[in-house]
Structure 1
Amino acid sequence: MATYQARCIKILDYIDTHLDTDLNIDELCAYAQVSKYHFHRQCSVFFGVSLITLVRLLRLKRAAYQLAYRNDSRIIDIALSSGYDSHEAFSRGFKKHFKQTPSDFRQSPNWEAWQVTYAPILHIRNQIMSDNMDYTVQTVTFPHTPIAVMVHKGAMQRLGITIQKFIAWRKANQLPPNKSQTFNLLYDDPTATPADEFRLGLACSLPRSIDTNDTDVTVDSIPAGLCAKIRHVGSDDTIGLAVNYLYGEWLSQSDFELRDFPLFFERVRFFPEVLESEMITDIYLPIQ
């Protein structure tokens, strides 16, 4: 069983890092050392979906993020990068899985339908990571950092709407990620907070002072101080496991206590600009 699981994990890792290529079944079988006569059935049992569906959903996830958050990307270009030969084929495939055409999704994304479709992959990634947790924790001093914050309040399924608003605000104020660090402030635990009360801060550093007349954006700061840090490489699907590790196993075995500031992320490399496997997020837990 361990060997079978390890091979399936290798397949998922390979797919994650080669989504931009023409994935070949013979190549995948050779890489994972799996017989092609049993390959599809093994993958379907382990992943909960067929291999073809798995690849399609991973590509469509990136397409959904590009549609929602990258308005300068043309739909036909997103279609071609997702493995479709035409706008029409992409539109049919996208609507089949997410109940909206790409154009409709770009105008008004239904993230709830998207999350239901994507649930099998989320489940398997968390299962894999929970069986293979290996985190390196550093203690670092984080500098005082002025930030602009837009607070999302409400169900996680509607977070995408707030992200769109914050991206638009950053563009209007000329604060792109290459000039301003990007942060998330985790005020609440989504597993322990009623959906309508859940809060998460979307933030960016302020390299210069600004006046904001936007009632949704406030000027604040991340205070200087000691933090426990994990560098998380890969999809956000499993980032919650790293957070739980800091609060649980690591903190209980350390001599530190928590400071009065929420755990926060710094987004170093972004999806969909890079593949999910290439995302980098630094997780900071304020301690003393």
Structure 2
Amino acid sequence: MARHRERFAHVLYFIEANLDSDLDVDQLCQFANLSKYHFHRQCSAFFGMSVIALVRLLRLKRAAYQLAYRDKKVVDIALESGYESHEAFSRALKRYFGKSPAKFRQKPDWALWHKHYEPIMILRSQLMATTTSFDVKVVEFPETRLAVMEHRGPAHLLGSTINQFIQWRKGQGLSPDKSRTFNLVYDDPATTASDQFRFDVCCTVNQPVSASITHEYGVINKVIPSGKCAVIQYLGSDDSIGIAVQYLYLQWLDSSGFTAREFPMFFERVKFFPEVPEREMITDIYLPIE
């Protein structure tokens, strides 16, 4: 079972790395070293869908992120996602997200999407769970001033907070190439009641944000204090980032001789999806320790 899971993990990685290519079943069968008949059966068993549906789903995920968080034209997103027309793309998006591209861009709603995408999230977590250890380093992290938009409430609504913060950030000229991107991570969405979930979306600033900005946009000032941190550089999708977080808390910390400081875990987003494929995302995971 583990061998087959690993084989289809490679298929998933190959698809993600070649989303802009004309992928065909014969090519994927050859990559997986399986006959077409067995490939179809096993792909459906592992992913809960056909391989063609899997490719379509991954392309639509990238398209949805571009719609929600980037300013690309809808027709350009449609063509890059393998659709011949705006109309065909719109029909597909409605099927998976329940909204047209224009309405989704105005008010993204990810709840329906998660039902379709859940098999891939489960597989990613299963694959990451087989990792027995991560490379952990202990570093001195400098005091870092942040502009913060607090998300409080269900995790599946986090995308709306991210979108609001991105729009504010653009207006301030704080693009990721000029200002580092962080998240303060207070709770595990898997074990926290949805109305109590807390997560901060942040970027670095040289000066505190003004009271007028706080009043108008809800962006506030916070500081990551200087101090010792354990850090993992995590490569891959957020779908399974929780495995690395659990490793730091449940395995590494217990045997390290350190204790957790009175400050939440935080992420630095080094490489972003959809600018890079999900498997090429880089997130530095910091656990403040003493």
TM-score (norm 1): 0.96
Contact persistence 2:133–2:247 (CA under 8 A): no
Residue equivalent to 1:249:
251
**Partner SS state of residue 11, structure 1:** helix
Residue equivalent to 2:206:
207
Contact persistence 2:269–2:284 (CA under 8 A): yes
Contact persistence 1:44–1:50 (CA under 8 A): yes
Q: Which runs of 4+ in 1 moved over 3 A?
A: none
Report the residue type matching 1:233 in the other structure.
L
Residue equivalent to 1:191:
190
Report the residue type matching 1:106 in the other structure.
R
Q: For 1:155-187, what per-residue CA distance to the aligned partner results, in whole angstroms no more than 9, with x for missing partners?
A: 011111111111111112111111000000012
How far the C-alpha of 1:6 sits from its partner, in A, is 2.4
Contact persistence 2:208–2:221 (CA under 8 A): no
For the residues of structure 1 that align with 2:251 and 2:87, how far apart are their CA atoms? Answer: 50
Residue equivalent to 1:39:
39
**Partner SS state of residue 38, structure 1:** helix
**Partner SS state of residue 259, structure 1:** coil
Contact persistence 1:142–1:226 (CA under 8 A): yes
Q: For 1:223-259, what per-residue CA distance to the aligned partner results, in whole angstroms no more than 9, with x for missing partners?
A: 1111110111111101011101100011111100000
**Partner SS state of residue 36, structure 2:** coil
For the residues of structure 1 that align with 2:132 and 2:39, how far apart are their CA atoms? Answer: 26
**Partner SS state of residue 37, structure 2:** coil
Structure 1 gaps of 5+ residues are none
Contact persistence 1:79–1:85 (CA under 8 A): yes
TM-score (norm 2): 0.95
Matches within 5 A, 1:1-288: 1-70=1-70, 72-213=71-212, 214-215=214-215, 216-288=218-290
For the residues of structure 2 that align with 1:190 and 1:37, how far apart are their CA atoms? Answer: 39
For the residues of structure 1 that align with 2:144 and 2:3, how far apart are their CA atoms? Answer: 47
How far the C-alpha of 1:272 sits from its partner, in A, is 1.1
For the residues of structure 2 that align with 1:16 and 1:131, how far apart are their CA atoms? Answer: 21
CA RMSD of the aligned region, Å? 1.3
Comparing 256-265 with 30-39, which one deviates more in the overlay?
30-39
Contact persistence 2:47–2:119 (CA under 8 A): yes
For the residues of structure 1 that align with 2:156 and 2:83, how far apart are their CA atoms? Answer: 27
How far the C-alpha of 1:132 sits from its partner, in A, is 3.4
Contact persistence 2:181–2:204 (CA under 8 A): yes
